[in-house]
Amino acid sequence: MADNSEFKEVYNWWYFLAAVVTLLAFPLMHIITGWFTFWL
């Protein structure tokens, strides 16, 4: 039971990292899309 790798934790570091990236990406979205459109 302890070695069950399919058990998902409620607080996972991937969720924390995704939340930080999302919170950083929203204020910079116009810069990211402008840079992407310029280099596309």
Q: pLDDT tens digits, residue range 1-40?
A: 555 566 666 677 888 999 999 999 898 888 888 888 888 7
Q: How far apart are CA 10 and CA 1, in angstroms?
A: 17
CA angle 34/15/18 to nearest 5° reads 10
Which value, in Å, is the radius of gyration of the alpha carbons in the chain? 17
Q: Pick from 21, 19, 17: which is nearest to 29 by CA?
A: 21
Q: Is the dihedral of CA 32, 33, 39, 40 positive or negative?
A: positive
Q: What is the pLDDT of residue 23?
A: 92
User: Residue 32 in contact with residue 25, Cβ under 8 Å?
Assistant: yes
pTM of the predicted model, to two decimals?
Answer: 0.48
